[in-house]
Copies of this chain bind each other. A is one copy, B any other.
Amino acid sequence: MCRFLIFKASSVDKELILPGRDPILLAHLLTRPEHSIINQSYDSRLRIDNRRPINGDGFGVGYYTPEADPELGDGPCVFCATTPAWNNLNLARLAEKTKSSMVFAHVRASTAGVLSETNCHPFTFHSLMFMHNGQITNFQRMKRKFASHMKDEYFLYVQGGTDSEWAFALFLDTLDKLGVDPSGPAGVNGFGHEMIRNAMLLTIQFVKDWSKQCSEGDADNEEPSLLNFAVTDGHSVIVTRYITSQTEEAASLHFSTGSKFIEYEPGQYKMERRDRRQDVILVASEPLTFERSDWVTVPTNSILTINNQTVLLHPIMDEFYQTDPSVSRSSNFAASRGLVSPIVEPQASTNVNLPPLEREGRRRLSITV
């Protein structure tokens, strides 16, 4: 059971920055919200499947610097940890001192790959950043297909042992074969959302095909793969909610748009919508606020695009697309993997005025720092 979170503010287009307004303090996403993905990772009230291991197996956040400064380069900055995120002093301090308009964050419960910084999401390659929530079923059987399909550059890119890093390498290889150099300068508007979406859909196609070829016997009866992928070039964002099944739901995915993501009382956040602007867009495996109306659920087997602060949703029309509107997918499989997260109602809290750590009787790490 992993979790991920994407934040994009309009000012990510660096020419348009209104200084001090749009980039968000990382603490507002990561450490302060009662329902942040870090607090989710230890607070079991917020957990759906309590039989699964807690997300204590690694954490990563990647962000693009808000300044238009050539010295800072195009690529994102990544901070990873293999100790639990909720107790990481460096993270707590950086989050209070760092702002960004484009943030990817990921909390990991290892299902494959040992605990190592090389296995932490998000993965980056020059200006690109990638993360995965889910699993490629029987990846071990397919690993050689991945290895032999790719150009050397991407084969050698892989440092760790996870299906997710290989999936990113495959995405890079696919982008390359579509005529784009993933290591090259992305241009003022990046690689373009159509190109990235196209490469993502092809990546899923490869995984799907190899999965069939490598199945032992009755492929239809094997566990489906859960392919919620997110990728960005610092401009557009592409996120999939996908499962290789016609009858099961994919891992949950939600988004929220508004004019500002605000803390209305300590630890409690909501999406403010003062007008119809979408200055702020959040995409998350689990809702970050308790406001049901803040969140829209992305349908299973569709692909979400953020382009110029507009959210687009396209269905992924393949053999796993469910055309019969009367059929509803089961959430059993995704739930068994701890990957279903409905939009929750606010819960009565006894210490509602305390931020989460203090409420637990814990000392906040960064108080005097």
Contacts and interface: CB of A to CB of B under 8 A. Distances in A.
B65 A79 contact: no
Interface in A123-171: 124-126, 140, 143-144, 147-148, 152, 155-161
Interface residues of A, number: 76
A337 interface: yes
Contact of A161 (B45, B57, B67, B160): B160
A83 interface: yes
- In the complex, which of the residues A78, A81, A361, A365 has the most CB atoms of chain B within 10 Å of its own CB atom? A361
A50 B45 contact: yes
A348 interface: no
A329 interface: no
A21 to B, nearest CB: 10
A76 B337 CA distance: 34
A122 to B, nearest CB: 11
A56 B45 CA distance: 17
A147 B166 CA distance: 15
Contacts of A147: 144, 147
A310 interface: no
A90 B79 contact: yes
A360 B52 contact: yes
Contact of A83 (B115, B156, B361): B115
Contacts of A152: 144
Interface in A72-94: 72-73, 75-84, 86-90, 93-94
Nearest to A70: B20
B110 A87 contact: yes
A344 interface: no
A175 interface: no
